[in-house]
Structure formats: structure tokens, C-alpha cells
Structure 1
Amino acid sequence: MRIHHLNCGTLHPGGAAMVCHVLLLEADARLVLVDAGFGSADVRDPRRLGPMRHVLGAALREEETASAHVRALGHDPAAVTDIVLTHADLDHAGGIGDFPSARVHLTAMEHVAVLRRRGLRESLRYRPAQWAHRPEVVGHPPGDGRWHGVAGVLELAEVAPGLLLVPLPGHTAGHAGVAVPVEDGWLLHAGDAAHSAASLRPGDTRPDVHLRQGLLAHDTAALRRTQRALSALAADGGVRILTAHDRDAWERAPGDGSA
């Protein structure tokens, strides 16, 4: 499997710039995205993102959209068959509209939250305009598998060989990670379950980041449990963790299409 690391949205929420780290998987004859960043419609009309665009400091650029990256790599965006979302926040799901024929995969619990949009936090994070093209959505219930001690894991073999949807609840109602098999083990896209892989080391999370994560969390206690589980995974030499907004990790990612 060939893996491309894309930045599909630069953010300036305060302090150093952040990215929206998206994976493009070339799996046999299929193209699969893990997360989708911001989309071209978000660039054309930022108002559809609501007030959170100001909180995130989103620098909306056409060349950073997933569809632009796919074209730059020599592919037709229409060849993207599936998009697997860690969660449906506006900076992760905006790009789905640029791939109207692609199936959109997420946990069933997250899909319900998108449809429900209960309370202020969910109304701000889930933007109906990003789903207005009515994609084919596959809301996956928890699986019966275990992976490195994590329960409820589901294999998405119909999307790509060996691809796993790994429950990582807390940041949103149905947040998950996506585990990709690579030559030396696994690559886990942990979405917004942590600020960075480095922050999973005891004492390495800055107080302001800790506070911001708590304010944005759907369930703070669940998020802390998820982060403890990720800390254990980070100590496993067979699992490499990346998170959605860690610019340093994105810049260190291989640029040749390898994992």
C-alpha cells in the first residue's frame, strides 16, 4: 500500500501554525482518503464553516484541499472511492464534497451525532453544508476485534486490505482512529485524540493544550482514558502514531509516498 501525507488545511489557533494531516492511500486499484480536511466549497464560501473558522484561524487555500493534492499527484479525484473519517469536525469533513461519488465511513455513533447536532458544541463542529451533497454514508457499529489491547476494533477490508477502525472516544461522540498496515508494523492516524504523539509522554502536554482539549471534548473523562491507551500504544515499537494537527510530524513524514 502506498501512503501519501497531505496537509489539507493550515490553522492558526494561536501559537505555532498547525496542519490538517490527511492520508491518501493507494490500495491496489483504489484511492482512499483518511480524513478530508477543508474542501473547495469552504475556500469559496468560508461563512458556511460558521464561527469556528475564526477560532481555528483557518487559512483556506485551494491548493491545500484534498482534491487539489490528488490532482497534483496525477490522479483524477473521481478515482477516490472511499473516505474514512476519524470524526466529522468541520476541519476533517469539509473535503468530502469534492468527492461526491465516494463512500464516507465513520463510526455509527459519530454519524448519529452529525445528524443530531445536539447542543452548542455539536452545532458548531458539525456543518450541514459540508454534507449537503448527500454522500453515501456508512456508519459502522463497533467491531468485535481487539488490537493492541483496544476493544471494539473493526476491519474495513472492503475499503483497503488490513485497514482498521479503532475506537478512540472522547473528543467527539464517536471519534476513532484509523490503523494502516505498513512494512514495519502499523501507522495509526489518531485524529484529534491527542495534540501530538509527543504529548502522549507523561508531563509533555502543555497546560494550555490540556485546557483546550478539555473545552472541545464531548466527554473529557473518555478522552483522558483514550489518551492513556494511546500512551501505552506509543510505547509499542510496532505502532507509529500521528495526530491530525501536529505540524512537526507532518513535516517529518516521508515525501516519497511510503509510510
Structure 2
Amino acid sequence: MIPLAGHTLGHAGIAIQTSTGWLLHGGDAWFYRGEKEADNHHCTPGLRFYQWMMAMDNQARRRNQQRLRELSGQHGAEIALFCSHDALELKQMASLHPFSSAGSNQGQ
């Protein structure tokens, strides 16, 4: 678990080591894929407002977004960052890193 304060009390991301590198699910640390871009980061106005409005500590949230941008910029080849609020980002991540369903009861 990676502390990512700001969105809610106790907010955290989950880091997972795979055979091809690290995955980091950032939870609610960002809502739009453009926010984690190291250069020229951006977010749609509606989502930007919503994040500001819902943040428990907006300054901490923005600090953590900056930390995640730096991580992505410096180690983007070693770690894949994603969140579940951006449907396209989540879909792309699921197609690149499918999880094994061995041992699950899916489809039964």
C-alpha cells in the first residue's frame, strides 16, 4: 500500500509487482489519464472541479499528483500507473496486463 493522502482520509494506492514490472493502482489520486503526464498535464474542467470539491485535503492531493507525475516520468518504463476512474485507462491497462483467472469462480 502506498499512502496517497488528499482525496479521502487514509487514501492509498496499491503497488503490485509482476513478472514484467510494477503496476500501481492510484485509486482516486487522479480521475483523468492526462493528469499523470509529466509534461503538459491536464484534466477536463468538470473532473478538475469535482476532485477539488471532493478532496479532504486538496493541497495534499495535488502534491501526490505531482509525486506520481515524477514517478511516471522517471520510471515509466518500469512501472505502469492506472486508476479506475478513467474508463479508457482502465480498459487499456486490463488489456496490457490481464490477470489470471485460475482459481477464480468466474463464469461458474
Aligned residue for 2:64, secondary structure, equals helix
CA root-mean-square deviation: 1.7
Structure 2: gaps spanning 5 or more residues:
101-108
* Structure (1 or 2) with the greater strand fraction: 1
Contact 1:190-1:241 at 8 Å conserved across structures: yes
Distance 1:256 1:240 in 2: 13
1:185 corresponds in structure 2 to: 21
Contact 1:179-1:188 at 8 Å conserved across structures: yes
Higher relative contact order (CA 8 A, sep 6+): 2
Paired residue type of 1:244: S
Per-residue deviation, residues 159-216 of structure 1 (Å, max 9, x unmatched): xxxxxx1001000011000000012221001000001333222342122211110000
Q: For residue 234 of structure 1, report the CA deviation from its aligned partner.
A: 1.5
1:212 corresponds in structure 2 to: 50
1:238 corresponds in structure 2 to: 78
Contact 1:168-1:226 at 8 Å conserved across structures: yes
Structure 2-normalised TM-score?
A: 0.78
2:67 corresponds in structure 1 to: 229
Matches within 5 A, 1:25-36: none
Structure 1: gaps spanning 5 or more residues:
1-164
* Percent identity over paired residues: 34
Distance 2:68 2:32 in 1: 11
Paired residue type of 2:61: L
Distance 1:172 1:166 in 2: 14
Structure 1-normalised TM-score?
A: 0.34
Paired residue type of 1:210: R
Candidates 99, 102, 107, aligned match of 1:257: 99
Distance 2:52 2:5 in 1: 13
Structure of greater Rg? 1
Q: Deviation above 6 Å: which 4+ runs of structure 1?
A: none
Distance 1:194 1:179 in 2: 16
Q: For residue 233 of structure 1, report the CA deviation from its aligned partner.
A: 1.4
Matches within 5 A, 1:2-17: none
Q: For residue 248 of structure 1, report the CA deviation from its aligned partner.
A: 0.5
Contact 2:32-2:47 at 8 Å conserved across structures: no
Aligned residue for 1:234, secondary structure, equals helix
Per-residue deviation, residues 226-254 of structure 1 (Å, max 9, x unmatched): 00001111211211011121110222222
Matches within 5 A, 1:117-136: none
* Structure (1 or 2) with the greater helix fraction: 2
Distance 2:52 2:65 in 1: 12
Paired residue type of 1:209: L
Q: Say how many residue pairs are matched.
A: 94
